[in-house]
Amino acid sequence: GFIETPFYQVENGRVLQDRPPVYMTADEEDDLRVAPGDVPVDENGYIQGENVAVRYRQEFTTTTPDQVDFLSVSPVQIISVATSLIPFLEHDDANRALMGSNMQRQAVPLLRPERPLVGTGLEAQAARDSGMVILSRIDGEISYVDAQILRVKDAKGKEYEHELQKYQRSNQDTCLNQRPLVYEGDEVRAGQVIADGSATEGGELALGQNILVAYMPWEGYNYEDAILISERLVFDDVYTSIHIEKYEIEARQTKLGPEEITREIPNVGEDALRQLDETGIIRIGAWVEAGDILVGKVTPKGESDQPPEEKLLRAIFGEKARDVRDNSLRVPNGEKGRVVDVRLFTREQGDELPPGANMVVRVYVAQKRKIQVGDKMAGRHGNKGIISRILPVEDMPYLPDGTPLDIILNPLGVPSRMNVGQVFECLLGWAGQCLDVRFKLTPFDEMYGQEASRTTVHGKLDQARQTEGLEWVFNPEEPGKITVFDGRTGEPFDRPVTVGKAYMLKLVHLVDDKIHARSTGPYSLVTQQPLGGKAQQGGQRFGEMEVWALEAFGAAYTLQELLTVKSDDMQGRNEALNAIVKGKAIPHPGTPESFKVLMRELQSLGLDIAVHKVETAEDGSSRDLEVDLMADVDRRRTPSRPTYESLSREEFEEEV
């Protein structure tokens, strides 16, 4: 079906609010004149003003009140849930609001969620509808509460049990965890939030943290959207999150016999097996690092798999050594953590397994990730950036009362992006911090008067200044700016700086998941070029435009190396490796495989195309030679078709 949205009927300029709203789909409202929800209406329900802005056939136009067919129920209903969580949305450019909406979906649930100081009032509704919080089913009293279970008793003494989700893995490898919000003996109402999810606090959506922000350049470390943060965010676990990785291994049926999950692994010392139980599976609670065995597995080995020395030993001693090879599940490079769960699936238990598998073992490993250089952060207004440096607290600029800043953003990120909402949010958050209150502002607050946002923020900052000891938080001469001192010298900076409390999120694009290196690795079968991507242990792509860049600089040898021995010159790369190992000079590169593939492609299209080279003899004469693209270094040629020797009748009869 289609999504429907509610509208009030309008007859002769009067809004019929006493009637229930009409629900319509997008195509039904297309031919009607629909006024937005913030149109001024008098006490009798008549639309005020001579001209009204309306939406008609996907155009925004104006008309008289008597021409209006319907009125939106709320000004917020034209925007999505994620967009409706952006405060001061009307002050942001649409492109940045779109980025802000999308990046809220990429926020990582933090160890200690904190709801925003400046919100829109829809955070509680979004959290409630997300399904991640637990709501009481009845009116009653909390009879029992612990980390795992909540029980609610109704007036008749009947108990209703709610089970809490503890440290489950999400599809983004983040941690899903529920925490009780109530105490034993508390009275609750039906529909009340009684347990928080992993990204909610007090039943409200809490994706980030309120932190002290200043807009100022600092030694070039926030050039081009980079972000400078304080060590406090690392030490106090402000942006620490828990991530749970899933590792899986199958024991399959092979031609040579079944694979086996076991502790008896060939050529592995006792030290590597100390964390495994008697079945060869890692213990829950064990700390594992890269290369550690999670599940021991051996695969039967055929005659052909055996190295020559093993064959020799068997020939001499005649012993039938255990013909298996180590195929264990190990922790990948760069990963570490604590084993939180192990699950075993077998056909005997009635589990559905992939075809050919006898057993599947899943191991869940959790790790705490503190914020670090290279992680991506963002606000709710599309103001995103990468952390460039983590400064000691004592070097961070500080306020007149000695409080060091948490984050320094570049002021140049605001004017050209036209997302001024972040400045309003930051200043109102600062007023909220000083007055110890939280604000809820519905988007499009200009319907309450001209420049309503500026008036609200100015008024609240002025109110904060009246508090004893906080006279410095607002200076009417320099509204919204504070004198800030350099943490290294103690000198004040030469201009006042915009300082405030902003709500910043840590996004799922973490540097630990992105960092990658390769020396040699797998190659594509057709082009013989290295594969791409971290998962395939791939190389860095050097594309067409990058080639132009090196051509422009005349870096001929670097370019030749990148296009041959570092890529798809099969013979050249092996020779280069041998030369490096032996400490000899690297030989000249050969022909890239992709060039050969191109020539074959053109030949297959019926074009008579060939490569020629000119050879100069000792006497100075030159001759033209066709290059055999299928020949290898020793001039051996792979035959293009199989050759058959003819047999005489006598030879044939002898063989039979």
Q: Where are the beta strands (DSSP E) in 95-178?
A: 118-119, 134-135, 140-145, 149-153, 159-163, 168-169, 175-176
Q: How does residue 629 score in pLDDT terms, banded at 50, 70 and 90?
A: confident
Q: How does residue 301 score in pLDDT terms, banded at 50, 70 and 90?
A: confident
- For the stretch 351-370, pLDDT in tens is 999 999 999 999 999 999 99
φ, ψ at 504 (rounded to 5°) = -115, 140
Q: How does residue 460 score in pLDDT terms, banded at 50, 70 and 90?
A: very high
Q: How does residue 615 score in pLDDT terms, banded at 50, 70 and 90?
A: confident
Tell me what pLDDT residue 304 has.
Answer: 66
What is the radius of gyration, based on Cα positions, of the chain? 35
Under 8 Å between Cβ of 250 and 299: no
What is the mean pLDDT of the segment spanning 244-272?
92
Percentage of the chain lying above the pLDDT 70 cut:
96
Residue 572 CB-density burial (10 A; 0-12 exposed, 13-18 middle, 19+ buried): buried
Query: CA dist 547 to 359, 551, 564, 644, Å?
Result: 49, 6, 13, 46
d(CA 253, CA 389): 52
Average pLDDT of the residues of the chain: 92
Q: What is the DSSP letter of 51?
A: -
Q: How does residue 278 score in pLDDT terms, banded at 50, 70 and 90?
A: very high
What is the mean pLDDT of the segment spanning 431-447?
90
Residue 2's CB: how many other CB atoms inside 10 A?
A: 8
- For the stretch 465-513, pLDDT in tens is 998 889 999 999 999 999 999 999 999 999 999 999 999 999 999 999 9
d(CA 99, CA 105): 10
Under 8 Å between Cβ of 333 and 513: no
φ, ψ at 472 (rounded to 5°) = -80, -10
Query: CA dist 247 to 272, 297, 327, 362, 512, Å?
Result: 18, 14, 14, 6, 17
Tell me what pLDDT residue 461 has.
Answer: 95
What does the H/E/C string look like for 129-145? HHCCCEECCCCEEEEEE
d(CA 398, CA 488): 10
Q: Which residue has the tokens 């079968």?
A: 525
Q: Which helix (H) or strand (E) holds 188?
A: strand 187-188
Q: How does residue 313 score in pLDDT terms, banded at 50, 70 and 90?
A: confident
Instruction: From 533, 539, 528, select the one nearest 573 (Cα to Cα).
Output: 528
Q: In the predicted model, is pLDDT for residue 280 greater than 90?
A: yes
Q: In the predicted model, is pLDDT for residue 35 greater than 60?
A: yes
d(CA 408, CA 238): 16
Helix (H, G, I), strand (E, B) or coil at 624: strand
d(CA 340, CA 450): 56
Residue 616's CB: how many other CB atoms inside 10 A?
A: 9
Tell me what pLDDT residue 644 has.
Answer: 53
Tell me what pLDDT residue 646 has.
Answer: 63
Bigger pLDDT: 336 vs 446: 336
Q: In the predicted model, is pLDDT for residue 117 greater than 70?
A: yes
Tell me what pLDDT residue 61 has.
Answer: 94
Tell me what pLDDT residue 312 has.
Answer: 81
Tell me what pLDDT residue 328 has.
Answer: 95
Query: CA dist 514 to 239, 378, 508, 533, 543, Å?
Result: 18, 18, 11, 10, 20
Bigger pLDDT: 636 vs 538: 538
The per-residue DSSP string of 387-414 comes to EEEEE-GGGS-B-TTSPBPSEEE-GGGT
Domains identified in the chain and CATH numbers:
5-78 (2.30.150.10), 79-124+210-240+370-514 (2.40.270.10), 133-198 (2.40.50.100), 256-354 (2.40.50.150), 524-590 (3.90.1800.10)
Q: In the predicted model, is pLDDT for residue 447 greater than 90?
A: no
Tell me what pLDDT residue 395 has.
Answer: 97
Helix (H, G, I), strand (E, B) or coil at 178: coil
Number of H helices, E strands in the chain: 14, 39
What is the mean pLDDT of the segment spanning 611-619?
86
Q: In the predicted model, is pLDDT for residue 618 greater than 90?
A: no
Largest CA distance in the chain: 118
Residue 635's CB: how many other CB atoms inside 10 A?
A: 7
- For the stretch 530-565, pLDDT in tens is 999 988 989 999 999 999 999 999 999 999 999 999
Tell me what pLDDT residue 613 has.
Answer: 85
The one-letter amino acid code at 543 reads: G
Tell me what pLDDT residue 458 has.
Answer: 95
Tell me what pLDDT residue 632 has.
Answer: 60
Say which residues have a Cβ less than 8 Å from residue 650's Cβ, sequence separation at least 6.
none
Q: What's the token pair of residue 19? A: 């009637």
Q: Please, what sign has the CA dihedral across residues 70, 71, 72, 78? A: positive
Residue 340's CB: how many other CB atoms inside 10 A?
A: 19
Tell me what pLDDT residue 653 has.
Answer: 73
Tell me what pLDDT residue 636 has.
Answer: 55
What is the mean pLDDT of the segment spanning 602-631?
86
φ, ψ at 113 (rounded to 5°) = -65, 145
Among the ranges given (220-229, 408-417, 450-459), the one the predictor scored with the smallest mean pLDDT: 450-459
The highest-confidence range among 170-174, 405-409, 618-622, by mean pLDDT, is: 405-409
Tell me what pLDDT residue 626 has.
Answer: 86
Tell me what pLDDT residue 177 has.
Answer: 95
Percentage of the chain lying above the pLDDT 90 cut:
79
What is the mean pLDDT of the segment spanning 34-43?
91
Tell me what pLDDT residue 656 has.
Answer: 62
Under 8 Å between Cβ of 47 and 68: yes
